[in-house]
A = this chain, B = another copy of it.
Amino acid sequence: MITTLPAFEGPVCPVPLNHLDQIVMGHGSGGRMTTDLIRTIFQPHFSNPALNEGNDFASLPVPAFENNSGQLILSIDSHVVKPIFFPGGDIGRLSICGTVNDIAVSGAKPLYITAGFILEEGFQIENLEKIIQSMEEAANEAGVQIVAGDTKVVEKGGCDQVFITTTGVGWLNSGVRIGGQYARPGDVVIVSGPVGDHGIAILAARGELGLDTEVKSDTAPLNNLIDAILEAAPHTHVLRDPTRGGLATTLNEIAGQSKVSILLEEDSIPINPNTRSACEILGFDPLYIANEGKVIVITPEKEAEAALTAMRQNMYGKDAAIIGRVIISNPGKVMVKTSIGGTRLLDMLAGEMLPRIC
C-alpha cells in the first residue's frame, strides 16, 4: 500500500534510493525500501491528504446529496499495454484515462482513483517516474485524485516491466439513467472522432507493422467532453468508450443489452487516413481496433444535433460525427450500409486480434 507508510513528516527532502536506478525485490517488501520508493517517486506526484495520512486505507468524502439517493459508481481495469511508452501516451496516462472514461460513461462524476503497481525487478526507476508523472498529469486534467496505491515487485521475468491496475470511484446523482441497456429505436448514434488510432499506434510502436506511420494513440480523459454532451443532450440513453474490440464490438454489446439493432453508414464513420492505410496494408478492419479516447453517444433524435454541436466544441470531440441509427429489425445485431449500397453484418470480435493493446 502506498498508504501503508508513515505520514510524510518534516520538510520535503527526497531520500536517495540507496543510489539505485533500478527496481530491486526489496522495493516490494513493505519495509524501508518500499517507504523510500514511495517517498521519492510516488508522493511528489500523488500527494493529497488521504494518501499522506499513511494508513492502509484512504478516507474520503462523498458529495453532499439529498434523500440518500445518489449512487456510487465503480470500475476497474488492469493495464498490460506493450510497449509501455507509445506515440500519444504511455501506460500511466492510459491507466488513468481508461478508468476515468469507464466512470464518466455512466453519467457519473469521477472522483477518486486507486492504483496497484506490479513491477519487474530491474525496471528502470527513471521510467517509473515518467509513468507516475503521466498519471499525475492525466489525473489533474480529469480532476480526479489518486488516493490509494500499492506496489509489488516480482523477480526478473516474473512480469513484463510494469502492470498497473486502476479502480475508479465516481458519484452519480439520482435521476441519471445511462447505460448500454437504454438504446431505443429511433435513437441516433454518434462517435466523438476517428476510430482505430490507439490500436494502430500501439502496433506501430512495437515495430510489428513493417511500415512507418504517424498514427498517435488517442488516449484521453473524456469526462469533460461527456459533461458537455449531457448538458446539451440530457436525455442521452447510452455513452460508452469503444476500447478493446473497437467500435464494432462495443456496438454489438449495446445492441445485445438493449435488444435492438444498430444500422451504421460506413461512409460516415470517421477514420484517419493514416489509420485507414495501415489497416488496409495489414488486412485489419478499423472498426474492430481499440480506441482509448473516443465515446459512442446514443441519444434521442431531437437532442442529436445539440449533442453533436457541443462535442465539436471540445478538443476531444472536434471530429464527432453521426454514424448511424438504432432500428427495430434484427435485435442484437449491428449492420453496416457500405459505400456501394450493400449491407453487411458487423459481428463481435471473436478471438484475439491485437494482444496487450491496453
Contacts and interface: CB of A to CB of B under 8 A. Distances in A.
Interface stretch (A152-160, A223-231, A264-272): A152-160
Contacts of A28: 352, 355-356
A139 to B, nearest CB: 15
A200 interface: no
Contacts of A58: 73-75
Q: Which of A118, A165, A244 has the most CB of B within 10 A?
A: A165
A232 interface: no
Classify chain A: how many residues form its interface, as a range.
35 or more
Number of copies: 2
B75 A148 contact: yes
A179 interface: yes
By DSSP majority rule, is chain A's interface helix, strand, loop, or mixed?
A: mixed
A172 interface: yes
Given A31-B351, A33-B351, A54-B181, A118 B78 contact: yes
Interface stretch (A1-9, A125-133, A335-343): A1-9
A1 B106 contact: no
Interface in A298-318: none
A80 B152 CA distance: 7
A175 to B, nearest CB: 13
Interface in A97-127: 102-103, 105-106, 108, 112, 114-118
Contact of A102 (B26, B53, B57, B179): B57
Nearest to A241: B56
A64 B67 CA distance: 9
Given A31-B348, A163-B118, A351-B31, A73 B53 contact: no
Interface in A139-157: 147-155, 157
Contacts of A165: 76, 78, 116, 118, 150, 165
